[in-house]
Structure 1
C-alpha cells in the first residue's frame, strides 16, 4: 500500500499531531494552555514546538518581560495546510482499509449459575 498524498511524517507522531490539532481549532494559544491540555511537561512541549516551528508550521511569539513573559503559539498557513492534508490522508487510509469479516462466534457461556468456588478462593 502506498502512502496517500498529504501524509506528513513530521506531523504524524502522536504528540505533534495533538499539538497541531489543538492549534487548528484556535487562532493563538498560550503555552500553559497547550501544555495542560495535552498533559505535557514544559520541556517536552518546547521540543515539539521548536520542531514544528523549524518546519514553518508554527509561529511562536514571546510577549512581555521578566516574570510576566508569555509565549503564544499559532499555526501558520503552511502548518494549517499540512495538517488538513495529513487528516485527509489519514481518512483515506481508514476508508481504504479492507472491511473485516465477522469471525464465527463461539457459543455463549452460561452465566446463570455461578461456577463453584475453588479451595483457594474459599480461604481468601
Structure 2
C-alpha cells in the first residue's frame, strides 16, 4: 500500500467508523451500525478490529435500562485516521 495509508483504517466500513467518530466524543453501537447500513455482526467485527489495533475503545456503562455499547476514537486512532486522510489527499493530488 502507498506510504502513509493505514491498512486497518483503509477498509471502507472502518474508514467510515473513524470518520464518524472523529467528529464526536463517542457514539452508541446502534447509531454506528445504522450509519453503516450493516448487520450487528458486521459492525461488531469492524469495531473489534479497530479496538484490537488500539484505535477505538468500547465501553458498556451500567445504568438504568438496557446496557448499550459505546465507541470512541482513541488518541492513537485519531492520529492514525488523520495520517491516513493526509496520505489519501496526497495520493489524489499526485
Q: Would you tell me which structure has more helix in proportion to its own residues?
A: 2
State how many pairs are aligned. 94
SS in structure 2 at match of 1:11:
helix
Residue 3 of structure 1: aligned partner: 2
Q: Which of 31, 34, 52 lines up with 1:33 in the alignment?
A: 31
Residue 71 of structure 1: aligned partner: 69
SS in structure 2 at match of 1:73:
strand
Question: What is the Cα deviation at residue 65 of structure 1?
Answer: 6.6
Residue 48 of structure 1: aligned partner: 46
Question: What is the Cα deviation at residue 64 of structure 1?
Answer: 2.2
Measure the CA separation in 1 of the matches of 2:28 and 2:91: 33
Question: What is the Cα deviation at residue 95 of structure 1?
Answer: 0.1
Which stretches in structure 2 are left out of the alignment for 5+ residues? none
Q: Which of 22, 32, 35 lines up with 1:24 in the alignment?
A: 22
Q: RMSD of the TM alignment (CA)? A: 1.6
Measure the CA separation in 2 of the matches of 1:10 and 1:22: 16
Which stretches in structure 1 are left out of the alignment for 5+ residues? 97-124
